[in-house]
Structure 1
Amino acid sequence: MLKFDSDLFLQAVGKEAIAEREKIEGIVDHISAKGFSNLFLIGAGGTIAMMYPYEYILKSNSTLEVHAEIAAEFMVMNHKHFSKDSVCIFASVSGTTKETVAAAQFCKERGAKTIGLVANPNTPLAEIVDHCITTGHEKHSFDTFFIHLYMLVFRFMHNNNEFPLYDKFAKEVAILPQALLSAMESFEQRAEAFAIKHKNTDYHMLVGAGSLWGNTYSYAMCILEEMQWIRSKSIHAAEFFHGTLELVEENTSVILLKGEDETRPLVDRVERFAEKMTKELFIIDTKEFALEGISEEMRAYFGISVNWAVLNRISVYLERERNHPLETRRYYRKMEY
């Protein structure tokens, strides 16, 4: 695969991420034993998008109160559900994202319990939070964060007597990285073909729902807009027919992200419309990937990781075809604003 080290992926997302299970369970068990009022999932840009799937999972599977909040807005909104009894989970690859670091400090000063996911230890976020879970390196950090969030969120549900299949779930999390690698390998030709065909396409609609809404939002904004300077719009499938449908034309690029949770029929509805209106419909469906060893009842949850892994195979080919490195920026972290 282009620009991909399979051994490094399995080491980082497999062995190293999975090795944190005992630590993560200890953190969650300690907090659960003391009691808490609610969970806040806080981030900025790609990391708040990363939190949306887990907010959805908690809302649809648990009675635990949960709020996914954009860091900068959270600090000014006077959130009436936030208190010293809240548990706040943050994520930042660099550990230096200004808004996220400030929000962590804000929560810590008000007595809330804080947990940080970071790639780099010895960084501001890592030093502020009560509990830090680190990957130790930036390579494959989002894939690793997803693994850690599975462990955190489902352990909280398990401790709330709401997820009796936790042990089975945790065992399947451990084999998920190999299933992700197989999914990426099987998607490689489609990823390359899409990038070749759309290297000059200047606008994409991305549609998703449920546990894949965060990926939809993140890929449009963080990858296509920030990293490739391509205009895009992320549209929730449930909202597509309240405005956006009027902009679909024969050559409009529509990318549908289909998962296997309860919201799949919402995306099916968009598919039925789009296949009649545009010749440029591209569907990424987690159901098409074998995911050896993953049970049917867990596939809907793991679709988050599967979808993100294969989406990022498109990214490396867009980078090549457009001669536009994913690291190139004009403004982000280049100037004060």
Structure 2
Amino acid sequence: MELNRIISAIKEKQSEIKSVFFVGCGASKAELYPAKYFLEGNAKHLRTSLYTANEFNYATPVSVDDTSIVITCSLGGATPETVEATTLAKEKGAHVIAVTHVEDSAITTDAEYVVYHGFHESYAAKMEKMTKVLGLATEILNQFEGYQHYEKMLDGFDKIYGLIENAVSSVVPQAKAFADAYKDDEVIYVMSSGATHEVAYSFSICLLMEMQWINSGTFHDGEFFHGPFEIVDKDVPFLLLMNDGKTRGMDARALEFLQRFDAKTTVVDAKDFGLGSAISSEVVDYFNPMLISGVIRVYAEQLAIVRNHPLTKRRYMWKLEY
């Protein structure tokens, strides 16, 4: 109801919203993607965009005004670029919603509305940021245009956290096998499609490159056959995130090619954790990212253990001015 009330309050002030902007950096930016993907696929009139914060700051879209909603996101609420973007959006007259884990953090200062989420309490709590932003997008669509599957989305929100906890409780053996098999690889490629596309991206740039110092590349399954597949060969390491929903065919096509040439392939498949059995087929696409993100967090943790390289270890971040 919190999210419903926020969007209702915006609608009371501004009856017409034309644009929705999602703004963040790194993992927070990636966790905004499912909401952007949802609106793009279902809104008939609303324009939607996803920006890394400094792009928003340096090249601010002219449509940022009182007919736009800007949703900014930062886990700790202190990411300088995102704090600046929040202030800028307010100055432009937009209706600004900040999403963060930390109360009264810098990102909240110039936000008209604030959504707080969990993180440390459980694997499901780590997915609250992504889930609540998708909830905001659902309310925006339903209140400003109407959405025929609104109740099915609400049902999905009720079930997703339990599905995540059930999934991670059973996945440690597979995660350990992944860690043992990939611990010495110099590069790991990560792929997916649909709403899960930027889950692959964040696993690549954050959990592998940032937190494990492992070279990585990521690409959409639909783009795989337009360049990246040329590097496929026996034992080249891939992590493929498979969706339950409309874009599964792209995932399956990529998997078949990887297997044909004996690439070193690990698959994390939402179907294996019962997503489609619990959530309606009309909306299941949008819940893949939360479930898969929870599962691969365990994979990253096991990789960190076997490599004796904690996920909190950094070379530059928080240590240098940059």
Q: The TM-score by the shorter chain falls in which range?
A: over 0.9
* Residue 54 (structure 1) aligns with: 35
* Residue 150 (structure 1) aligns with: 134
| Aligned-partner SS, 1:297 | coil
Alignment of 1:302-321 (within 5 A): 302-321=287-306
2:49 matches 1:67 = yes
Q: Tell me the distance in 2 between the aligned counterparts of 1:308 and 1:104.
A: 26
* Residue 39 (structure 1) aligns with: 20
- Tell me which of 326, 332, 336 is aligned to 2:311: 326
Offset at residue 136 of structure 1 (A): 6.1
Where structure 2 has 5 or more consecutive residues not aligned to the other structure, the ranges are none
| Aligned-partner SS, 2:282 | helix
| Aligned-partner SS, 2:171 | helix
| Aligned-partner SS, 2:314 | coil
Offset at residue 179 of structure 1 (A): 1.2
2:9 matches 1:24 = no
Q: Residue 211 of structure 1 contacts residue 304 of structure 1 at CA under 8 Å; is this kept in 2?
A: yes
Alignment of 1:213-228 (within 5 A): 213-228=197-212
The residue type equivalent to 2:303 in the other structure is L
| Aligned-partner SS, 1:182 | helix
* Residue 241 (structure 1) aligns with: 225
Q: Tell me the distance in 1 between the aligned counterparts of 2:216 and 2:147.
A: 37
Offset at residue 220 of structure 1 (A): 0.2
Q: Tell me the distance in 1 between the aligned counterparts of 2:146 and 2:236.
A: 43
The 3 A distance-change label for structure 1 pair 125 and 191 is: same
Greater Cα offset, 279-288 or 141-150: 141-150
2:94 matches 1:112 = yes
| Aligned-partner SS, 1:239 | helix
Offset at residue 315 of structure 1 (A): 1.1
Alignment deviations for residues 200-250 of structure 1 (CA, whole Å, 9 cap, x no partner): 111111111110111011000010000000000011111112221111121
Offset at residue 129 of structure 1 (A): 0.6
Offset at residue 93 of structure 1 (A): 0.7
Q: Residue 211 of structure 1 contacts residue 261 of structure 1 at CA under 8 Å; is this kept in 2?
A: no
2:108 matches 1:123 = no
Offset at residue 196 of structure 1 (A): 1.4
Superposition CA RMSD, Å = 1.7
| Aligned-partner SS, 2:185 | coil
Where structure 1 has 5 or more consecutive residues not aligned to the other structure, the ranges are 1-21
Greater Cα offset, 309-318 or 177-186: 177-186
The residue type equivalent to 1:188 in the other structure is V
Structure-2-length-normalised TM-score: 0.93
The residue type equivalent to 2:72 in the other structure is F
* Residue 5 (structure 1) aligns with: none
Alignment deviations for residues 172-221 of structure 1 (CA, whole Å, 9 cap, x no partner): 31222111111112322111110111111111111111101110110000
- Tell me which of 284, 290, 295 is aligned to 1:299: 284
Structure-1-length-normalised TM-score: 0.89
Q: Residue 118 of structure 2 contacts residue 129 of structure 2 at CA under 8 Å; is this kept in 1?
A: no
2:161 matches 1:177 = yes
Q: Residue 77 of structure 2 contacts residue 107 of structure 2 at CA under 8 Å; is this kept in 1?
A: yes
Offset at residue 293 of structure 1 (A): 3.8
